[in-house]
Structure 1
Amino acid sequence: MDYDSLEHDSHISIDNSKLGRFLIVTSVAAEKEAIMKGLKADNRFDVIAAGVGPTIAAANTATALAEKNYQLVINSGIGGGFVGKVELESIVLASEVIAADLGAEAAEGFKSLEELNLGTTRIATDVKYTELVFEGLKARKAPVYTGPIITLSTVTGTASTAATLLERTPGVLAEAMEGYGVAIAAKLKGLPVIEIRSISNAVGPRDRGNWKINEALKRLEEVGSVLTEVL
């Protein structure tokens, strides 16, 4: 999804006087520190490092949501970008969060929870908040995209797995490990959720020599700064 291709109100805004607090969920301390540096001590935001993977992320997000009232839940951190879809050091905003490996293997291939009639693997992000952040990043000339982000308990390490995921989830732009867990916790609380990923590496064979961790963390700092402006 590219908001340039949509007809929308370019003056979209939210009345900040009616807002409460915002919860930002990262996975590790480095991501938390980068986001907080961009926030510049804006006390409307609480930032937690919830841990790696959807299970611990869901548990710690739910705990935080039980302790305070929030207006919006934001999952943010670094992630992998699919080759040919997004470039390293760009930013991806999720149009939906998809648990790509939640299901069952069968002789005819992978079956999602939907196909098994056991639930849903897809959670839509909040369109209005996503657009606000998209426009804020775009105004800063940051390379930013919108599209599905998948959540995996095991991140991709081979070209064949990357190809399988692309086939299974058409339009996917990026992968990470916490989005679905955070989104489930927000959904159970009745809160809107968005996911923001700064791309540090290409999805596929693990080639740490070409990863852009520091650059991606710097992008997260920029995300934090934009959040203070648009929310």
Structure 2
Amino acid sequence: MKLLFVVATRKEISGILKLFPQNKTLLYDKQELFSVNSENININILVTGAGMMKTIYQLTKHLLKIKYDLILNFGICGAFDRTLRIGEVIQIKSDLFSDLGAEDGEVFKTIFEIGLLNENTLPFKNGKIHFDAEVNLPCLSNIKKVEAITVNTVHGNDTTIKNVVEKFHAQVESMEGAAFGYVCKMENIPCLQIRSISNYMEKRNKENWNISLAVANLEIFIKQFLKESAI
């Protein structure tokens, strides 16, 4: 099985790279790609850069060269849902572009609500991108499945946080997830999105963040995923 791990930044995968000191760094066509090969492991790791633009461009460009059986997006995220713990690893079951649309006075309307796109046009189902690849592993069964949104502007205002939670029932947000899913679904490649919570969504205060814990727990999950996959 050919696997691709997609991350926004090298920091989110640094611990895994250290597990395989023999990994090769392939820098070509302005892409940062790591190739991990050992007796049981054969994975490429693509570092796209943060945000939707870079994710869509770098992933699409890469998939024009190499095809995969399964692609996984690993990263950190912020949580609206305070029942989720800082550092907790979760699986995204659906994601959407929450700021793609238009303002109508005080009301935000999605691209579907203003009639520019049908909410069931491929790859959307009811306006969402669903991560439904069938991968039966205990590590996936043991983590919560949550609803996500993807944004260009990270939320840090009480009013907009309240609005987006009410409109989309969002539990977490990232800057890449739906973009990643969009490309994979359009290319008909099974995909999963796994994230670890680094902070709660509130007025921006880095003192309340714990990126180190989120990254450490994400690495633990990835190690378990590799072990259970017996790749």
Partner of 1:69: 67
Q: Distance in 2 between matches of 1:92 and 1:220?
A: 9
Q: Cα offset for 1:131?
A: 6.5
After TM superposition, the score normalised by the length of structure 1 is: 0.81
Counterparts of 1:17-166 in structure 2 under 5 Å? 20-37=1-18, 41=36, 43-107=41-105, 109-119=107-117, 120=119, 121-129=127-135, 133-135=139-141, 138=142, 144-166=143-165
Counterpart CA distance in 2 for 1:205 and 1:180 is 23
Return the offset for 1:68.
Answer: 1.1
**Secondary structure of 1:205's partner?**
coil
Aligned pair count?
204
1:172-217 Cα distance to aligned partner (Å, 9 max, x none): 2211000111111111211122111100100111111111111111
CA distance in 2, matches of 1:46, 1:82: 32
Give, in whole Å, the separation in 2 of the partners of 1:182 and 1:175.
Answer: 13
In the TM superposition, structure 1's runs of 4+ consecutive aligned residues that sit over 3 Å from their partners are 34-43, 130-133
Contact 2:133–2:191, Cα closer than 8 Å, also in 1: no
How big is each residue's C-alpha offset from its partner over 1:19-60, in whole Å with a ceiling of 9 and x where there is no partner? Answer: x21111111110131343467855322111101111110111
Q: 5+ residue gaps in structure 1?
A: 1-19, 139-143
Work out whether residues 38 and 222 of structure 1, in 8 Å CA contact, stay in contact via their aligned partners in 2: no
Between Structure 1 and Structure 2, which shows a larger proportion of helix residues?
A: 1
Q: How far apart are the structure 1 equivalents of 2:159 and 2:87?
A: 24
Query: Gaps spanning 5+ residues in structure 2: where?
Result: 22-35, 120-126
Q: Would the alpha carbon gap of residues 124 and 130 (structure 1) be closer, same or farther in structure 2, given more than 3 Å must change?
A: farther
Conserved 8 A contact 2:59-2:180: yes
Judging changes above 3 Å, is the alpha-carbon distance between structure 1 residues 160 and 31 closer, same or farther for their aligned structure 2 residues?
A: same
Amino acid at match of 1:124: H
Question: CA deviation digits over 1:136-181, x for unaligned, max 9?
Answer: xx3xxxxx321111100111112222111111112x2211000111
8 Å contact from structure 1 (residues 37, 224) kept in 2? no
Distance 1:188 1:83, change over 3 A: closer
Q: Which amino acid aligns with 1:157?
A: G
Partner of 1:224: 222
SS at match of 1:126: coil
Query: Letter of the aligned partner of 2:135 in structure 1?
Result: Y
Which amino acid letter does the alignment assign opposite residue 113 of structure 1? I
Equivalent pair of 2:55/2:176 in contact (CA under 8 Å): yes
Secondary structure, aligned partner of 1:70:
coil
TM-score by length of 2: 0.81
Displacement after TM superposition at 1:226 (Å): 2.1
8 Å contact kept, 1:28–1:49: yes
- Aligned Cα RMSD in Å? 2.1
> 2:227, 2:65 → 1: CA distance?
26
Please tell me whether the aligned partners of residues 13 and 219 of structure 2 are also in contact (alpha carbons under 8 angstroms): no
* Percent of aligned pairs with the same amino acid: 26
